[in-house]
Structure 1
């Protein structure tokens, strides 16, 4: 297969009853650094265009697209969309669009994947066990992955993702932490062009354990892991107390922060720039960038959804994919 002169991105709107389809329609109104190929139900995209009062002409893959045009590989839904009302009957189409878009990246037809928000409850109600798109893509590719969220000023990766808080300490293991740090380091080198990335590693406990008085995970797990990897040349600092690690003067010295759990790092990142925040899956054989917001069912079909995160996802995925194209 001939590699295109510029990257081609698989675009998956996500939950058809949410804001994903209309955000894709907005995306189609302007030019981008990459070609876009949507994996979606054509009728749903047209319904979103009508709701927004915007033009949308769907074209065959490979055809040039101007403003108001979008190339598509149709993934039909079982039932017509009703914006704001997820239908479990359409869960299979949501999963099929994700897996087809990812397969196109694995087979070289596309060079990156951009995904909109999905509705986990609707997918599970449709009889499909589903914990998240990151996990789905990792299983499909057979890859070890790490979730990292980013905005223009900050990158935050996660040692654990969607776990109840009471399960987090047991999930922080030496082997798991080493795997996450290696994936994060390699991605910062390959995808972000950082020859020797500097990573701040947060502690698990308040004050990073206060010398063992507030918990021993830092002493028994985190610090020994960091020391082993530092001996290999990785630039790691920590474990750092999370309540001061995000001070601007400290962040200026780091390329990324590794948080031990979801709500330790992500509230800070979202406060620092939610509208342009994106979710990046590190460790896949291709770049995958997702919006950092939900389906916003209450806004679906209203035209009031902010497209900033999807625009940022396409822009970043385009740049990451371009770095991987042959010279």
Structure 2
């Protein structure tokens, strides 16, 4: 096995993994506060167009003291997070990294007790710095809500858990910032129905994926079936959430089986009701679910359902 790796180029290996997974391109998580990632972007950049970037802002929005210390070392002049001068400096930082990475969206994972607006540093940073830059670059903000970090510190990175969040945070953002688009996934099973209903009410909201602890066959099938019932084809059924490239193989192979089963059931119901299906229509539905919904939403070519 090691010999095979030694004689296989990186490009060839990526080709092989993508081929086995049935994937054309992926979006990476890129953290500008991570020293190794920052060094690679500054010195090398992205040389493979199949790998797109998402600008990850967990440190900025969840650990502002760490972020501000880093920004100060980089020459940014920061005061209180609510001060206009600080907001302008953070926007300058975000613009630099948006240009550097050509990010297709901005992303952050958030705890279940998130409240927006709230009397913390997170609210002004999100509302006055992040969202305006997202509008400026015409990219969505991806919110991954519900993670509780280090509930068992002895397990290190494996010690995280989850909690139920308040979906009214999403309602507030979607109704207050109509010119912003929001990609949203939530970690708690208990949030899934309310999230899908909320997506029926706002065309600037796109629900995506079965994240982390929900990425098992039983829950993924249940959640995706519910979304098909409530949202039709107007959602993104799954995302890779792959820590290493090889995870793409089993995650997509497993989810495709789920999707085939659910769509077969829906098409059979349509057929029995008198609807005559065509192969072209089915291919169009699959292309929409697995590719077009994502790219149309992140580029602003279309949003979710019409606001009801």
- TM-score normalised over the length of structure 1: 0.30
Higher relative contact order (CA 8 A, sep 6+): 1
TM-score by length of 2: 0.31
